Each structure stands twice: as C-alpha cells, then as structure tokens.
C-alpha cells in the first residue's frame, strides 16, 4: 500500500523532498511551516518562494506533526523528530546537520 505524501513546495529536485539547497542522500525531510501550514524542504526554499516571512513553531506546539519523511511519507511530531536521527517508520537516516539550525523552524 502506497502512502500519499503531502505536497512539498519550493525548488525540489526529487520525490524524497531534496531541494536545490540541500540534496545529499540524507536530506529527506520537509518541514511544515507554522505561518502557512505548507511543507518546504528548507528555510531557503520558503524564503525564496513563499509570499510571507517564516515563523517558528511555538514550544507549546511540540506535539504537532510538522516534519515529513520524504522517503515514506510519515509525518513526525516536532518532539518526535527532535529526538531521533532517522525515521521511526522506515528507518531512513536524516541529515544530522539539520539539528544545527532547528531554531529557524522551532522556538527553543
């Protein structure tokens, strides 16, 4: 059974959510932005293609499903994503470098 993935906006380069900015084998997540409710592969994609400024998810929303695994389509909750290095559904590894700029997406 195939899972229907949510739409991912911005300059993606494949169906696993890689984009023109981040396209290594490990760049397989997209983030749902709280300001518009749309998935983008990265903050640069949002800045270049959305018609508004990005906002961070508040700490009170840490249970929201806002991270998409581009490999299997599983949507992780924010806390769930922050606590793992790979997808809990399909075990696809995530880029550890993404954790270095979580403040762009989530309030600390």
- Percent helix, strand, coil in the chain, to 5, is 20, 20, 60
> Which pLDDT does position 13 carry in this prediction?
95
| pLDDT tens-digit series, residues 48-66 | 999 999 999 999 999 999 9
User: In which band, very low, low, confident or very high, does the pLDDT at 72 lie, cut at 50, 70 and 90?
Assistant: very high
Q: What is the mean pLDDT of residues 81-99?
A: 96
User: In which band, very low, low, confident or very high, does the pLDDT at 92 lie, cut at 50, 70 and 90?
Assistant: very high
> Which pLDDT does position 15 carry in this prediction?
95
């Amino acid at each position: 059974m195939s899972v229907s993935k949510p739409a991912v906006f911005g300059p993606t380069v494949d169906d696993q959510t890689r984009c023109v900015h981040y396209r290594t084998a490990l760049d397989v997540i997209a983030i749902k932005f709280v300001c518009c409710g749309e998935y983008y592969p990265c903050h640069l994609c949002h800045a270049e293609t959305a018609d508004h400024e990005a906002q961070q998810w508040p700490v009170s929303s840490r249970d929201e499903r806002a991270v998409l695994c581009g490999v299997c389509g599983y949507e992780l909750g924010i806390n769930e994503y922050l606590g793992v290095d790979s997808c809990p559904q399909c075990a696809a590894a995530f880029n550890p470098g993404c954790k270095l700029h979580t403040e762009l997406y989530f309030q600390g």
